[in-house]
Structures are given as structure tokens and as C-alpha cells.
Amino acid sequence: MDMNSKKPSPSMEAWLKEAKADPQAAQVGMFLVHNGVVRETPKALVRQGIDDGTTVKGMLFSYDAVKVDAAIEEAKKLEGVFYIKVWLNEGRLEVGDDIMYVLIGGDIRPNVINGLQFLVEKIKTQCVSEIEEKA
């Protein structure tokens, strides 16, 4: 992988059109989209309140495709989840760039929210590497 190149972001309009044409679409009552974006504020400040005076100018992002696929398969087994599509960027990303998109379709709001939270958490904690570049 060329760490300097990032992927073009997908179209959510196209994703939703594809999702609504899926064989299980008749069981889906709602879709949720997660769009993770590179932010200027360091993770340590946002998550733990640790301010080292720096800002983020970008990040090196990569992922383990086998682990991502396993996480998706696990999320598909959750109650009420009928559709999942995931896109992950890679390489050197700048503030404002898309890191990931996760689309979840399911029967009712609590099940879809649970599915999205489960899958995004699993991807973020077990499948990706995010190395912040400080300004």
C-alpha cells in the first residue's frame, strides 16, 4: 500500500440505492450511516482529557481486511440486522478526510443502533491502525 495515497470516498446515495435493492431489504425499517472523519483534536484530549498542547495535522491509517470481514460477519448475527456495508480509507489522511463509512440496515431503531455501535467499536478497537501526525 502506498501510504501517501488515499481512496476516493463512496457515494451514500449509491450505497442506499444498492441496499434497498438487496434481497433482504423488505425486512429493513431503517438505515444508519457512520462517517468517521480525521479531526484536528488529538484522541487523547477527546477521550481522556489529556491536553499536550498539540493538534493533529493528519493520520496514517491502515486496516486488517480479514479482521474487518470477521467483524462484519459477527455483526450480521446480531438481532434485527439485515444489511451491512463497510468502506475504509487507507494511507496518509488529512484533517477532514473520511476515515470510514459503515452502513447498517435493520428492522427497528434499537437493533440498528446496537449493530452500528457494535461494529464501529469492533473495527476501531480490533481492526485498524490510526497513527496521528501532530502539528
pLDDT > 80? residue 36? yes
> Is pTM beyond 0.85 here?
yes
Class of domain 12-134: alpha beta
What would the pLDDT profile of 89-103 be if each residue is shown by its tens digit?
999 999 999 999 999
Alpha carbons within 13 A on the beta-carbon side of 89: 26
Average pLDDT, the chain: 95
- Residue 44 to residue 51: CA distance in whole angstroms: 7
CB atoms within 10 A of CB 65: 9
Domain ranges of the chain: 12-134
- Residue 72 to residue 85: CA distance in whole angstroms: 8
What would the pLDDT profile of 59-72 be if each residue is shown by its tens digit?
999 999 999 999 99
pLDDT > 80? residue 1? no
- Residue 44 to residue 48: CA distance in whole angstroms: 5
pLDDT > 90? residue 45? no
Beta-sheet strand order (sheet of 91-94): 91-94, 56-63, 128-134
